[in-house]
Structure 1
Amino acid sequence: MTVTAPEVAAGTASPVHGAPGRDARAALLGTALGVAVLAQGAFYAGPFTVVAALVAGAGLVALLLRAAAPRPVSVAAACWAGFALWVLIRGLLDGAVADAVPSAAVALLLAVALPAAAGLAAEGRRLLQVVALALAVAVAGIGWFGTALHLSPLSMPSSGLWRAASSITYANAAGAVLVTGLLLALVASPTSRPLLRRAVVAALLLGLAVTMSRGAVLALAVGLAVLLATAAGRRSVRGLLPVLPAVALSCAGLLPSMPDGSVPRPLLALAGLAAGAAVLLATSRRRRAAGGAGVGAALLGLLDLVTGPLDGTAPAGAVEAIAQTRLTGASADRVDLARATLADFADAPVTGVGPGLLDLTYVDHAGRLVHAWFTHLEYLQVAAETGLVGLALVLAGAAALIAGALRTRTVRGLPLSAVGAVAVLAAFATHSALDFLWHVPALPLLVCLSVATLLPAPARTDTDTKEHAR
């Protein structure tokens, strides 16, 4: 069967994408993201190599198809490719190229993935968004499961609490995944299916709460502030109020299992989930299902009372631990790290001390000798290792994406997708000042793919189609 292209009027721009086979890019990028998120954030060489190969495949397909990307995306990709080149040159000058390879590889990964995703048609973009949301929900579920059963490394004791680390195996990184997923869900999930939308948002918000990540919560607050500052963003959160009591009930069921040293209470945690589901179902006018979920929650709660440990931890213990360790902005350890990193930055502020050559061996505030690998303040660490030159290239790429989103403003304001892109970038930028996120490849990859699918698609005059029409 022969398929002919539809006629296109002269002078009409048609999308550069949409031909059969081009969804291969979405499949490759989605698979790469899945491997990265589910294999400890692609932090280690083995999973990262697989992710890099898949992204390179998507980039090759885009190259063969001569797929266009929006100018801001191309500028951002060029900046990050320039950063990779600078890092390698800096490593070569220090005789430590091997130490420079990891940072350069991550930058090149993003420089290829970003335009490959931005050049996708609507169907491919939607596929990537669905994959990203599904992975974020999986991260939330794995983290909740690990915390309810005290399964390390899916959840690990930290600051006196079992905190969900999920498949990333680092609670703050898991929180970053969930914040990006939450903001993407608010702007990309279908409003025509309100129950599904509420369930996804509730799952992600619950997963975020279980990470107990202060940086992630602050990042979400910044992202939500960006959304709520626009009319389109305010419309995107309408109808989500029932999510709050649903998440509160689910958290209450998990609280007794969270203090370090407590005994797992999986039945009580399941009861909390069922109670939360009952709230969501009731607000969607599904009374029978809501009633069944409510009865299930009550039965699970009674079963936990019968079979649960007699010396189980009361929820008040978890609340006290949270108040003492999570509801405070104090972190003497982070201050020590920043002080040590600033000392190295002062030695070579323009060119840096060299990628991978940061010396974080120091005496902390308690007089102990400490050696660390990460500053937990990415801007400072990148500036210390690659100088202001490297930091400027990284930030210029992010600024290009923000500028590309802002350029879509019309007389009615920014469209929702552009607001979502800015919100995702703002949240990740905020969190990057509090935790080491750029060194976990899955996180910047998730952010780049999310933003790429939210920015306007490129368009060009399809001369081949015009010639066919003549």
Structure 2
Amino acid sequence: MRSTGRTTVPPQATPPPLAAGPSGQVGALPTDLVVLIVAVAAGVVAQGGYYRPGRLLLTALVCAAPIVALARAALGRAGHAPGPARTGSYGVVAPPSADRRWPTPVRLLAPACAALAGWALTRAAVTGEYPVALGYLATLGTVAVAVPLVVRAGPAARERLAEALIAIGAGVAVTSWVGVAWRLPRFAVPVEHRLWRGGSTLTYPNAAAALLAMLALLGLALLVGRPRSVPLGAAGYLMVVGVGAALSRAGLLALLAGYLVLVLAAGVRRTLARTSPALLGAAVAVAALAPSFPVGWPPRPTLAVAGLLAGAAVALGVPRLPARIRPAALAGSLSLVAAAVVGRLGSGPVAAVLASRGTAASSGRSGAAGAALDLVARYPLAGTGPGLARFFWHSPDGRGAVALYAHDEYLQLLVDLGAIGAALLLVLIATIWSTARRAPAGRHRPLWAGAVAALVALAVHSGFDFLWHIAVLPLVGGLLVGIAGPARNGPSGRRRTGAARSGGVLGRTIRSRSGEGVQMNMSRSRLVALAAVAAGVATAAVAVPAGAAVSLQSESPPAATLNLGGKARLDANGAVVFTSVSLTCPRRAEGYLRVRVTQAVGNAIASGESDTVTVRCTGSEQRFSLSVSPTQRPFRKGVAFGRAVADVCPGPCETTVDEHNIQIVTK
């Protein structure tokens, strides 16, 4: 060892398995990452952050994360003695001149996001559609804030972050499955009056499938590294079941594409051996759920529960069998599943599912894509401008159809921002790829492989659905980029000092008087810059109207939310009751709302239906008081049955129903 004053640099330092967290404990999760986890959870609960309240909540939490990091850094600096000696994450003492710059790809990510958002704002200055352009800024800004906060964390903190995301995904999967098995409108949606599809609290099945596919790949990747972990095995199994419950063809395709990347990146034999039980068990559970999908058939919750338990036995039991009999157990389980599926192919429920989801045809998607290409031909360079495109085509039955957005995010951006916008998007994608492409060695490689596989799944699914305006999905994508990104001051950096070369320093710490370190991965100036970006993003989010908060939307937003009040006010001696109804539907859509009330009056029935009210949707909750007059007997105080129905258009209209007992009162 050589000594130079107060700084000591060992010639060869061997890092321990895990880096020290900000609190000095191995595996600790920084507070700013906890805030980002809360933002993801809040977005999931608030319909993906599609509507204004959820969007504002998610954006505010993301913007609070760098402020929390800045405050933590200031408190750490105030509580520890200054000095030139700094201890790295692996216990290596770094010299005062140690490089604290970000790896080059991370430093280029924010300018790439700013360039795309700036072009959207430039087009808005010409067209006057500022709200949609501010949506670009808000979405890209949350990504630009989230990525460096994750990159500054060590491998242990990134793994804890991944585990938290997987726990959220497991919750989404369970609620999607429950929604289909018990036909719960809060967690499942009867799409086109044909199939019940799981949407969880996102209320849009394709968005739920996209989220679950990403997090399932992340969970399966961790399972490769920890094959006997019961929580990881259960979570990975449940999330694949959730993808099946959503019945999203694009979601399944994205999951398969991501899984192929995972197999190649984490090792073919090891990945297949350690993840096959979870995948096979999920096939068992989804097959048992199949009779509950068709709208015209009664749900089979008992069969669904039995299938879920049988699938869990395969997913969690097979990995604990002796190695010599695992292949036989997997082969036997696969044979039983195949026999059961083949035997039920001709049954009514399975035939109904295959008739709807067993084909690649989609007249709505192909019609919107054709109309979008026509607009690209007319406005090739600069596009139509954000939020101005309308897609018209004729459906197979000869009727005209119109959509506000395309089902292909890349094509939608080309329509909105033209070839210039597409080129800027390619730059951003290249920057993301450059950030995530370097694989770490050792035990953290499966985590990197899972994050990259999840990003591939998001990229594939974005070509088939409107995912980028469901605010929680770009945020999760940004977290995945950070998880897969290079270690700060690690091999990706241009300059590597002796401490970085010898110990792979992930960050610097200031040594306290007691000798304990507090991780300080980010300088004060950089934290201030991130906080400034966060403030700008928050301002943009406040200015964005609901439904326009994200750049790329389509004609199929999350399901409308309809709530019939629990009380109705009696008036005119029973000749009328006034019912309270609230409706939340996508901005620029149109809704048609009506209410029917039925009450037993002695041996007769009093019933009536309100006039249909036309609603111009704003994206926020709208409240109405609808009058219902009976056609036979007058209403009276007491219990009645109410049924509210809302048809929300354009495109194929979606019907939402809320029905339950109500109390008719006089005041």
Kindly, what percent of the aligned residue pairs are identical? 35
Shift of 1:464: 7.3
Q: Is the 8 A contact 1:255 1:315 kept in 2?
A: no
For residues 49-448 of structure 1, the aligned pairs below 5 Å read: 49-62=56-69, 65=73, 69-158=102-191, 160-189=194-223, 191=226, 193-230=228-265, 232=267, 234-285=269-320, 316-408=347-439, 415-448=445-478
TM value normalised by structure 2: 0.60
SS for the counterpart of 2:189 is strand
Shift of 1:223: 0.9
Q: Which amino acid aligns with 1:426?
A: V
- Cα distance in structure 1, aligned partners of 2:278 and 2:31: 36
SS for the counterpart of 1:263 is coil
Distance 1:463 1:104, change over 3 A: closer
Q: Which amino acid aligns with 1:246?
A: G
Residue 591 of structure 2 is matched in structure 1 by none
Q: Which amino acid aligns with 1:278?
A: A
Residue 50 of structure 2 is matched in structure 1 by 43
- Which one is further off, 239-248 or 137-146? 239-248
Q: Which amino acid aligns with 1:113?
A: A
Q: Is the 8 A contact 1:252 1:315 kept in 2?
A: no
Shift of 1:422: 2.8
SS for the counterpart of 1:157 is strand
- Cα distance in structure 2, aligned partners of 1:363 and 1:81: 38
Is 1:19 the counterpart of 2:22 in the alignment? yes
Q: Is the 8 A contact 1:351 1:386 kept in 2?
A: yes
Residue 9 of structure 1 is matched in structure 2 by 9
- Cα distance in structure 1, aligned partners of 2:512 and 2:188: 60
Runs of 4+ aligned residues of structure 1 deviating over 6 Å after TM superposition are: 10-17, 460-464, 466-469
Q: Is the 8 A contact 2:205 2:248 kept in 1?
A: yes
Shift of 1:466: 8.9
SS for the counterpart of 1:89 is helix
> 1:277-313: CA deviations, max 9, x gaps?
33345425599xxxxxxxxxxxxxxxxxxxxxxxxx9
Shift of 1:467: 12
Shift of 1:207: 0.8
- Which one is further off, 172-181 or 122-131? 122-131
> 1:399-449: CA deviations, max 9, x gaps?
222223334478x9x943443333222211111111111111111211221
Higher helix proportion = 1
SS for the counterpart of 2:275 is coil
Is 1:28 the counterpart of 2:42 in the alignment? no
Shift of 1:315: 8.5
Residue 501 of structure 2 is matched in structure 1 by none
- Cα distance in structure 2, aligned partners of 1:401 and 1:142: 32
> 1:121-164: CA deviations, max 9, x gaps?
33432332122101111111010010011112411122622111
Residue 458 of structure 1 is matched in structure 2 by 488
Q: Which amino acid aligns with 2:177?
A: W
Shift of 1:243: 2.4
- Cα distance in structure 2, aligned partners of 1:174 and 1:217: 12
5+ residue gaps in structure 1? 1-5, 288-312
Distance 1:12 1:227, change over 3 A: same
- Which one is further off, 350-359 or 233-242? 233-242
> 1:217-265: CA deviations, max 9, x gaps?
1111111121222453652342233224422332233222111122122
Distance 1:8 1:270, change over 3 A: farther
- Which one is further off, 344-353 or 240-249? 240-249
- Cα distance in structure 1, aligned partners of 2:102 and 2:273: 33
Q: Is the 8 A contact 1:353 1:386 kept in 2?
A: yes
TM value normalised by structure 1: 0.84
Q: Is the 8 A contact 2:277 2:319 kept in 1?
A: no
- Cα distance in structure 1, aligned partners of 2:508 and 2:484: 27
Aligned-CA RMSD value: 3.2
SS for the counterpart of 1:342 is helix
- Which one is further off, 211-220 or 79-88? 79-88
Q: Which amino acid aligns with 1:283?
A: V
Residue 291 of structure 1 is matched in structure 2 by none
Q: Which amino acid aligns with 2:128?
A: G
Distance 1:271 1:358, change over 3 A: same
- Cα distance in structure 1, aligned partners of 2:204 and 2:465: 11
Q: Is the 8 A contact 1:402 1:422 kept in 2?
A: no
Higher-RCO chain (CA-CA 8 Å, sequence separation at least 6) = 1
Distance 1:369 1:254, change over 3 A: same
Q: Is the 8 A contact 1:29 1:117 kept in 2?
A: no
- Cα distance in structure 1, aligned partners of 2:174 and 2:476: 18
Distance 1:17 1:315, change over 3 A: farther
Q: Is the 8 A contact 2:19 2:156 kept in 1?
A: no
Shift of 1:361: 3.8
Shift of 1:454: 2.6
Higher strand proportion = 2
